[in-house]
Amino acid sequence: MNHSILKSIAEKHKCPIYVYDGNKIKKQYERLTNAFSSIKNLRINYACKALSNISILSLMRSMGSGLDTVSIQEVQLGLKAGFKAENIIFTPNGVSMNEIEKVASLGVQINIDNLTILEQFGTKYQDIPVCIRINPHVMAGGNSNISVGHIDSKFGISIHQIPHILRIVENTKMHINGVHMHTGSDILDIEVFLHAAEILFETASKFNDLDFIDFGSGFKVPYKFGDIETNIEELGEKLSKRFHSFCKTYGKDLELAFEPGKFLVSEAGYFLTKVNAIKQTTSTVFAQVDSGFNHLIRPMLYGSHHEIINISNPKGKERFYTVVGYICETDTFGNNRKISEISEGDILAFKNSGAYCFTMASNYNSRYRPAEVLWYKEKSFEIRKEETFDDLVQNQILIDFSKKVSVN
């Protein structure tokens, strides 16, 4: 999106505000499907934990996407956005058996990553197809904080426990219709991912009646100029060839599934904030904005990098600024960043704010969560209103302790 569009949205709506470029989302979706165009049965299940606004889900559905969910609430959001239950997969971790049963009753595909839960579910529901999430013990991502394929991960059933899975399946007579893995985010090395895929193929070969193989996602996107990213086209060429070969050996054309989140929405997102003040100290020039880690926690939580641009003065002389928020503790967005000269009232745009940004926002310091706007086909759509004080207190119960209160 160009600066003028972002600036006009900022002027129309109150900052801070999240803006998403629907055209970029569509472009990323088509890039992935084109890379795997030789696959007859390709399924893209958008990982909605990245950005779960129901209008974004509706946009994904319109492009032909399925939905990857991790909670019953995300399942319900998907159904509200118009997804059919059979196009939703539920991949929870550490949830109760009760939650899994409730989701299964809706007709959603169940994905289980725990031997105990697998046995409990299979004993009660032999007729409900189940996918199994394995841990290949391969770290395809570059960040240990967001890699989930390592040996000590809480996610997935270890490949060394495959005999246990087979015993449970044999004893319960349950139907396994899919196998799944997710190695983690920020995949840098295609060959490492393909190595993990071989482990998944080996696992798949042990089940006779599969419908699909789910390779997860975690594709890396660029966060700054010159940054490396996952070569989707190379992955598409190499994995497609191997998948065709496996299906031929297996004797059945299976569905190849992915569950991208960040890949589809990260670069499409911009977080717009207004500069409240410029503060000069003995060694630092702070640009203080009308937001904080209550709205965008990733820099403080993960040390993630978000490019910051001054859309009010994009061609101004560059100076070094440390961009901070208004939260009453350290909430630094970027240290000593080279940004076009900033004045009070300027609008700063944080790039790559589409994934795991609004969905992690909170009401810390009793601040309101911001509005969200979708830009699509040259039109802007407000898809979430800014919160109000009524929203902040709607579920709270005021007890007036200045009056006599009976205690049971």
Answer yes or no: do 275 and 251 share one domain: no
Residue 12 counted as domain residue: no
State whether 242 and 366 are in the same domain.
Answer: no
Q: Is 328 a catalytic residue?
A: yes
**How far separated are the first and last CA of the chain, in Å rounded?**
59
pTM of the model as a whole: 0.93
Among the candidates 247, 264, 281, a domain finishes at 264
When divided into structural domains, the chain yields a total of 2
In DSSP notation, 245-298 reads HHHHHHTS-PEEEE--SHHHHTTTEEEEEEEEEEEE-SS-EEEEES--TTT--H
Residue 240 in any domain: the answer is yes
| Amino acid letter for position 21 | D
The whole-angstrom separation of Cα 386 and Cα 396 is: 19
- Regarding whether 245 and 277 lie in a shared domain, the answer is no
- Closest C-alpha among 159, 188, 258 to residue 216: 258
How many Å apart are CA 148 and CA 50, to the nearest integer?
Answer: 16
Q: Given the residues 15, 131, 247, 328, select the one marked as catalytic.
A: 328
Same-domain status, 298 and 259: no
Q: Which amino acid is at 79?
A: L
pLDDT of residue 339 exceeding 70, the answer is yes
Residue at 343: amino acid letter: S
Domain match, 220 and 126 both: yes
Grouping H, G, I as helix, E, B as strand and the rest as coil, residue 172 is helix
Q: Which pLDDT does position 139 carry in this prediction?
A: 66
* Residue-wise DSSP of 34-49: HHTTT-SSEEEEEETT
Stretch 153-179: mean pLDDT: 94
Q: Which domain holds residue 72?
A: 22-264
- pLDDT for residue 154: 83
CATH number where 114 lies: 3.20.20.10
Between 343 and 14, the more confident residue is 343
Over residues 370-388, the pLDDT tens digits come to 999 999 999 999 999 999 9
User: Is residue 207 domain-shared with residue 352, that is, in the same domain?
Assistant: no
> Does residue 314 share a domain with residue 332?
yes
pLDDT tops 90 at residue 147: no
Instruction: Report in angstroms the alpha-carbon separations of 282 from 71, 126, 279, 285, 340.
Output: 48, 69, 10, 9, 21
Quick check: 264 and 28 in contact, CB under 8 A? yes
Residue 260 scores a pLDDT above 50:
yes
In which band, very low, low, confident or very high, does the pLDDT at 137 lie, cut at 50, 70 and 90?
confident
Asked if the structure places residue 15 within a domain, the reply is no
pLDDT of residue 141: 52
Confidence of residue 89 (pLDDT cuts 50, 70, 90): very high
Residue-wise pLDDT tens digits, 191-237: 888 999 999 999 999 999 999 999 999 899 999 888 889 999 999 99
Whole-number pLDDT of residue 143:
47
| CA pair distance 176, 132, nearest whole angstrom | 7
Greatest alpha-carbon pair distance for the chain in Å reads 77
Cα separation, 186 vs 360, in Å, equals 19
92 shares its domain with 38: yes
Mean of pLDDT over the chain: 94
- Asked whether residue 55 carries a pLDDT value surpassing 90, the answer given is yes
Q: Are residues 243 and 285 in the same domain?
A: no
Judged against a pLDDT cut of 90, whether residue 306 lies above it is answered with yes
Whether residues 43 and 130 fall in one domain: yes
CB-based contact 187:167 (threshold 8 Å): no
The owner of tokens 């044999």 is 170
